Amino acid sequence: MTDLFLVYKNLTRKKMRLFLTCFAIFIAFLIFGAVSALKGALDSGVEMSADNRLVVINKINFTQPLPFSYVNKVKALDGVKNVTHANWFGGYYQEPSKQLMTMAVEGATYFKVYDELTIEPENYTNWMKNQTGLLIGERIAEQYGWKVGDKIPISSNIFSHKDGGHTWQFTIQGIFKPLDQKTDTSYVILHYKYFKETQTFGGTSVGWLILTTQSPSLNEQVAKAIDANFVNSAAETKTSTEKAFNKAFIEQIGNIGLIIYGVVFMAFFTILIVVGNTMVLAVRERTKEIAVFKTLGFSSMRIFKMILTESFLLSFIGGLLGMVGAYLVVGGVSKGLAGILPNLLIGPNTWAQAIGYMLLLGFVTGIIPAINALRLNIVSAFSRA
């Protein structure tokens, strides 16, 4: 028998109470783990954006197009390195519910602007030669099991063919891969030219422009110059860094960060009360036993440590189970959500934070009963009982 065994016996003496308390902690950490993973996934787009990349959209909002002529006008401005453009295709595979993020781009400049993506030179050349060629991101290749040479029909929920249909046939010519695994590659790209020639409306417009500046220090200056250039025109622009753009895009869903912290705070506040209360009660019920321990000669410090160990143990049992639960849940849904939310995972930071919260919870809920036990006077404990 050891002190740890005594702690274990004390912890498990009321099974139902142990279960309920652990369950409360479990739920709180489950929420924390899942919600942190969600936030991490949302933030990863912001985090991975290049420092010197700007996005130019129509000032009205990003679903409004820009004239094609803007591409060359922007290219001519000082401080601009490369410019490319993209159109939203509204793609899906087989059924409208199977969204496939598809963009029509200019092949010649696309990879100059997105230089964190790599592709086999031979595949790239083939794609450039083939009007109906398609390039797919590595994540898409993994998700659908597609290979170079596969013929894939992609439908659009926005555009239709000149001959009526909504579905285009493409041949996969290559797979682009990121230098950093966190970079999102869960989308496919097709030739803008082919898109323009075959679809029925839209004229000669592009969805948005993406450009790189000579240096991040020029970002602000270039952004101002672009917007100034098109002021009072039919299509005024709004230029921002890719980081800011991605952030603004996420914030359209609401201030996720605040909601997340709100939820996590509530969950932790609740268990703090529940677990703290349970610990105080559990130790108060044992007042006389603690007095007996002291009478036998156990030092007050030793009892103090045992009670603190008990609260840490409680916090870690519930907390680790909750995190494992979150890990399983996140792992389970991340495959299905790979298209919308890549990078949905519980990262080392979240684990470290969770351990930190477990330590904090164990300490905060254990310290008061532990101090009560430390100070407990044998004589008054017996006369009270």
Ligand X SMILES: Nc1ncnc2c1ncn2[C@@H]1O[C@H](COP(=O)(O)OP(=O)(O)O)[C@@H](O)[C@H]1O
- Burial (0-12, 13-18, 19+ Cβ within 10 Å), 63: exposed
Least distance in angstroms from the C-beta of 305 to other proteins: 13
For residues 121 and 173, is the Cβ–Cβ distance under 8 A?
no
CA distance 5 to 99: 55
- Burial (0-12, 13-18, 19+ Cβ within 10 Å), 234: exposed
Least distance in angstroms from the C-beta of 292 to ligand X: 17
Kindly write out the interface string for residues 298-327 of this chain, putting x where it contacts other proteins by CB under 8 A and - elsewhere. xxxx--------------------------
Task: Enumerate the β-bridge partners of residue 86.
Answer: 105, 208
The DSSP line for 173-235 is: EEEEEESSTTS----EEEEHHHHHHHBSS--SEESEEEEEESSGGGHHHHHHHHHHHTTTSSS
Please give the single-letter amino acid code of residue 142: E
Least distance in angstroms from the C-beta of 290 to ligand X: 17
Q: Which of 10, 84, 241, 311 binds other proteins (CB under 8 A)?
A: 10
Which is nearer to other proteins, 292 or 320 (by Cβ)? 292
Least distance in angstroms from the C-beta of 382 to ligand X: 9
Residue 234's binding partner among ligand X, other proteins, none (Cβ under 5 to 8 angstroms by kind) is none
DSSP 346: -
Residue 292's binding partner among other proteins, ligand X, none (Cβ under 5 to 8 angstroms by kind) is other proteins
Least distance in angstroms from the C-beta of 304 to ligand X: 22
Query: Of all helices (H) and strands (E), which one includes residue 283?
Result: helix 256-284
State which of positions 282-301 bind other proteins (CB under 8 A): 288-289, 292-301
62 SS3 class? coil
Residue 9's binding partner among other proteins, ligand X, none (Cβ under 5 to 8 angstroms by kind) is other proteins
Which is nearer to ligand X, 296 or 379 (by Cβ)? 379
Least distance in angstroms from the C-beta of 16 to other proteins: 15
CA distance 357 to 352: 9
Candidates 6-14, 69-77, 227-235, 304-312: pick the segment binding other proteins (CB under 8 A).
6-14
- Residue 13 as a binder of other proteins (CB under 8 A): the answer is yes
Least distance in angstroms from the C-beta of 377 to ligand X: 8
Question: How crowded is residue 257: how many other Cβ atoms within 10 Å of its Cβ?
Answer: 13
Residues lying near ligand X in the complex (CB under 6 A) are found at 379-380, 383
Which is nearer to ligand X, 206 or 381 (by Cβ)? 381
Among 305, 340, 272, which Cα is nearest to 7's? 305
Q: Which of 1, 179, 234, 258 binds other proteins (CB under 8 A)?
A: 1
Q: What residues line the site for other proteins (CB under 8 A)? A: 1-3, 6, 9-10, 12-13, 288-289, 292-301, 378-379
